[in-house]
Structure 1
Amino acid sequence: MLERNSGIPLNLGWVNRSCVNDQAVKNRVQDLLSSRLIHADHQVEWLARSIQCIDLTTLAGDDCPSNVARLCSKAAHPLSDDLTRALQIKHGLLTTGAVCVYPARVADAVLGLERLGANIPVASVATGFPTGQTSLKTRLEEIEFAVANGAKEIDIVINRELALSQNWGELYNELVEMRKACGESHMKSILAVGELCTLTNIYKASLVAMMAGSDFIKTSTGKETVNATLPIGLVMCRAIRAYNRKTGFKVGFKPAGGIRTSKDVLQWMTLMKEELGDNYLTPDLFRIGASALLNDIERNLANYATGGYFLAEEMPMA
């Protein structure tokens, strides 16, 4: 069990002197994409591993107990029985990293997973997701409600106004209060990177979120115009690495929004391995926020196992 990030006092000197070289970030990403390729013989293993890092998500206005139950079933058994046998994966061994729902659906997800006997954590978005435009009191109450209903992970959204105005002190204080409200549940802080304007601002917000005790930092809600991109991911990974070197705490990373294909996920896993090491290819430290991704992974694994490429609608999807 990894030691949780307990946070540190806000270090404004460190935050304010941080600066990102945009061109260097672009060059590093291009190097990764051109020279760090996963051999075809190993892609099946990597794709199977990626399933363990998916936060299988439904955040729709028509969510109800029945579609949450289907999502839980897919999380517990992400591949068909035939495909599981063909890949020689023991039944029930491979699951997704978590099931992610709105606070009002947490109890449904907990019940659904209990009925399946699946040891999968329930994650809940909170704090006025996706905008965060509610009072701090309301945001904290929403966290407490989700935790009380059984959520083991809370995906909070930061106040973008505070980040854009460089009001790091108030942002830090809000996140500390959110961390307290989470209790024993892990806090994953969504930066909404598409609304932070610059890579330097993203790096600074990453540092502040980790100083406040975030267990994960996450790119996006999936609702912004710009969500998870590799340059943004690189900047956040570098912030994680710097924080680890300074404090000894390992903070997880979760890209979300726009990750839909097997090619996408292999690129993200390559980034994690190259920037943070093999430990960051496990669900303890790496999660992928996605709903449609699993369908594409399953199609690619089926192609490997059978030699045939299935249509998306031929694959069972929650």
Structure 2
Amino acid sequence: MTTPPSAPEPADQLADVTASDAALRRFLHGLPGVDAVGLEARAAVLKTRSVKTTAKARAIDLAISMIDLTTLEGADTPGKVRSLCAKGVRPDLTDRDVPPVAAICVYPDMVDTARRALAGSDVAVASVATAFPAGRAPLPVKLADTREAVAAGADEIDMVIDRGAFLAGRYLRVFEEIRAVREACARPGGEDAHLKVIFENGELATYDNIRRASWLAMLAGADFIKTSTGKVAVNATLPNTLLMLQAVRDFRAVTGRPTGVKPAGGIRTTKDAIGYLVAVKETLGEEWLTPDLFRFGASSLLNDLLMQRQKLGSGHYSGPDYVTVD
């Protein structure tokens, strides 16, 4: 990933926005309201865009290269993580032209295992932190969680915001927590870990809240904003991801600073993934079509992409043993 500026401050024209809880609340509630009907209609149009043959092949390889291949289960073992890492580095053992994934995402206690398994590859190690997925822990515990993952070798940290504080309107508390976690991503003598901030859109309930959370996280210095943990009923959807892409576009117009976007949870098919890539291109342009600025948080998506890729090359689908079961 491209190295972000360290602990960026809000742009000059936004410096006073975070001066107090009241100022931050005024700013966030002063953002334009979301036209839900228009947003969902736009997402529906983007989802139906047809991508054929050569363009589809390029889109499949691009989507593969953007995947944070994920295992976040209580039953995770070192063997499972090593197997997932091997798949991330060589997604298709029969075809060396298939690109590696962007990262392997694990719990903090599996970071060292993943780091060792990925040594010598370009695949990053991502770790969830801050009492994932609920985020219900005191701040010192969340910071210790983050520091331990970074010390073990995590290149990227996926934190969850305190949704209770956010929904109660305690925006400055959420802002300060994100800033503190970003500082905990520092690695003395080396490149800081990149910070992805997870909103859990399904719990934020409204599009207006998703827009506010997007701006709040970007003001606090997030390198990526992420839809969800994958652990609730409503995770990534094209409309809520499109809204986040629009927030990134508007934030960059004001500050000049780019921010990545990561939809996670529920994206399982090649058709779904291509719909998201179309949304990225139409909203932010070609420059965002890179793993540095867009990711998919997924476990099963990779298998469908590999199956579709093989179908394009051979004209037929392979049998059930063509891909591994994650």
Q: 2:257 aligns with which of 224, 249, 261?
A: 249
> Are 1:29 and 2:68 counterparts?
no
Distance 1:205 1:304 in 2: 40
Partner of 2:121: 118
1:281–1:312: structure 2 CA closer, same or farther, 3 Å change rule?
farther
Partner of 2:286: 278
Distance 1:67 1:298 in 2: 20
Could you tell me how far 1:175 is from its partner in structure 2? 0.9
Q: Deviations over 1:164-208 (max 9, x none)?
A: 112111111111111111111110000000000100001001100
Q: Which moved more, 1:100-109 or 1:15-24?
A: 15-24
Q: Which moved more, 1:12-21 or 1:194-203?
A: 12-21
1:286–1:159: structure 2 CA closer, same or farther, 3 Å change rule?
same
Distance 1:39 1:306 in 2: 15
Could you tell me how far 1:7 is from its partner in structure 2? 4.1
Q: 1:64 aligns with which of 74, 77, 94?
A: 77
Report the AA paired with residue 75 of structure 1: G
SS at match of 1:63: coil
Aligned length: 307
Partner of 2:103: 98
Counterpart contact for 1:7–1:210, Cα < 8 Å? no
Report the AA paired with residue 42 of structure 2: R
Could you tell me how far 1:213 is from its partner in structure 2? 0.6
Seq. identity, %? 40
Partner of 1:43: 56
Q: Deviations over 1:280-306 (max 9, x none)?
A: 110000010001111111111111122
TM-score by length of 2: 0.91
Could you tell me how far 1:120 is from its partner in structure 2? 1.5
Partner of 1:80: 93
1:14–1:37: structure 2 CA closer, same or farther, 3 Å change rule?
farther
Counterpart contact for 1:299–1:312, Cα < 8 Å? no
Counterpart contact for 2:4–2:223, Cα < 8 Å? no
User: What pairs with 1:216-235 in structure 2 (closer than 5 Å)?
Assistant: 216-235=224-243
Distance 2:168 2:320 in 1: 44
Could you tell me how far 1:20 is from its partner in structure 2? 1.0
Could you tell me how far 1:312 is from its partner in structure 2? 3.9
Distance 1:299 1:312 in 2: 10
Distance 1:136 1:313 in 2: 45
SS at match of 1:156: strand
Could you tell me how far 1:80 is from its partner in structure 2? 2.5
- Structure 2: which 5+ runs fail to align? 187-191
Q: Deviations over 1:224-273 (max 9, x none)?
A: 11000011011111111111111111000000000011011000101111
- Structure 1: which 5+ runs fail to align? none
Could you tell me how far 1:44 is from its partner in structure 2? 1.1
User: What pairs with 1:1-318 in structure 2 (closer than 5 Å)?
Assistant: 1=2, 3-4=4-5, 6-8=8-10, 9=15, 10=18, 12=24, 13-18=26-31, 19-34=33-48, 36-81=49-94, 83-84=95-96, 89=97, 94-114=99-119, 117-183=120-186, 184-318=192-326
Report the AA paired with residue 173 of structure 1: E
TM-score by length of 1: 0.93
Counterpart contact for 1:74–1:317, Cα < 8 Å? no
Counterpart contact for 2:53–2:312, Cα < 8 Å? no
Q: Which moved more, 1:40-49 or 1:175-184?
A: 40-49
Root-mean-square deviation over aligned CA pairs: 1.5
SS at match of 2:118: helix
Q: Which moved more, 1:272-281 or 1:14-23?
A: 14-23
